[in-house]
């Protein structure tokens, strides 16, 4: 198996996408530390992996504190002897528009997503560098972090911040043979189940039916299992040269997102004054202005609900 002998930590893996990642890593031969705040979900996840012939152990703790990060790494080393792969998937949502967002709404999401990714990766990298055998850091991003989403100031900030950290880590960890990548999944989850646009796809999955091609192909929207293969690949030796990337995956589609680049460059001797910008903006700059938010094609009539 491609990950035989490897050891992985997957945060937020009691259910949903995280569980799919943990199961696929185990299916490919890795021993897995399963983490969640829900003790029952974590126990069920470990039991499912073991029932399928895999190796797994549970750590029930909230991601964010340094103590949790160290507990996860120590558990991997104590139970399985090493650490090769870290998948930072844990997250929470506190959606509301900017003017209604409380300090707690903002801090909670930043603490779990952004600080939790930082503390867990830091602990994992310390162990990987000490062991000297390289490693794989796989952080979960979101289209929201790439393009923004109405009502998700906190989540957008966290996910965009994760991408920035991963690009930095790819530079810092190269000499140690540790790769760092961001995966942007697009899949049926508890969150997308509440969005009317995806209702037909979510309903098909719930009924055990294939998702319509419009969702899988045109939107790149699929199941959690559609994302898990990329996670296992990035954790393998086959991906040793892949680092610093933001890779979108869902349904039948995979994408490599561009790093931010200047859309237009213009020079003016003496600099750009207010008057110069006011005159030049409509003709020189306006055409290069970037869109924000996700852009979906019109939903076919057959998938629209009353």
Catalytic residue among 21, 155, 197, 274: 155
Say if residues 114 and 162 touch (Cβ distance below 8 Å): yes
Q: What is the DSSP string of 53-71?
A: T-EEEEEE--SSSHHHHHH
276: enclosing H helix or E strand: helix 274-280
SS (H, E, C) 239-253: HCCCCCCEEEEECCE
- Residue with structure tokens 């969005």? 195
Alpha carbon distance 156, 146 (integer Å) = 8
The 10 Å Cβ neighbour count of residue 41 is 19
Can you read off the two tokens belonging to residue 17? 């996408």
Separation of alpha carbons 177 and 267, rounded Å: 41
Is residue 155 flagged as an active site residue? yes
- Could you tell me which residues come within 8 angstroms of residue 26 by beta carbon, excluding any fewer than 6 positions away? 32, 49, 52, 54, 55, 56
Q: What does each C-alpha distance from 126 to 57, 75, 85, 114, 130 come to in angstroms?
A: 21, 14, 13, 18, 6
Instruction: Look at residue 22 and give its three-state secondary structure.
Output: helix
Q: Active-site residues: which are they?
A: 155
């Amino acid at each position: 198996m491609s990950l035989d002998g490897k050891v992985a930590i997957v945060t937020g893996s009691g259910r949903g996408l995280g569980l799919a990642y943990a199961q696929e890593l185990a299916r490919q031969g890795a021993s897995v530390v399963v983490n969640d705040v829900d003790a029952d979900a974590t126990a069920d996840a470990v039991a499912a992996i073991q029932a399928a012939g895999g190796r797994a152990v549970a750590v029930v703790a909230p991601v964010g504190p340094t103590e949790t990060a160290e507990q996860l790494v120590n558990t991997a080393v104590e139970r399985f002897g090493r650490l090769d792969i870290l998948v930072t998937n844990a997250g929470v949502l506190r959606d509301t528009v900017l003017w209604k967002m409380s300090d707690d709404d903002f801090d909670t999401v930043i603490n779990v997503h952004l600080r939790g990714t930082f503390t867990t990766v830091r602990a994992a990298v310390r162990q990987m560098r000490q062991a000297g055998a390289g490693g794989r850091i796989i952080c979960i991003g979101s289209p929201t972090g790439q393009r923004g989403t109405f009502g998700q100031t906190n989540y957008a900030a966290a996910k965009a911040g994760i991408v920035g950290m991963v690009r930095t880590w790819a530079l810092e960890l190269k000499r140690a043979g540790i790769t760092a990548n961001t995966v942007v999944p697009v899949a049926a989850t508890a969150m997308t189940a509440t969005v009317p646009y995806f209702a037909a796809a979510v309903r098909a999955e719930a009924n055990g039916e294939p998702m319509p091609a419009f969702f899988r192909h045109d939107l790149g929207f699929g199941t959690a299992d559609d994302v898990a293969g990329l996670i296992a690949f990035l954790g393998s030796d086959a991906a040793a040269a892949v680092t610093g990337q933001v890779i979108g995956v869902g349904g039948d589609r995979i994408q490599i997102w561009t790093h931010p680049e200047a859309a237009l460059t213009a020079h003016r001797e003496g600099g750009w004054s207010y008057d110069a910008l006011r005159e030049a903006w409509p003709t020189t700059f306006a055409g290069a202005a970037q869109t924000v938010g996700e852009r979906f094609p019109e939903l076919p009539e057959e998938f629209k609900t009353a």
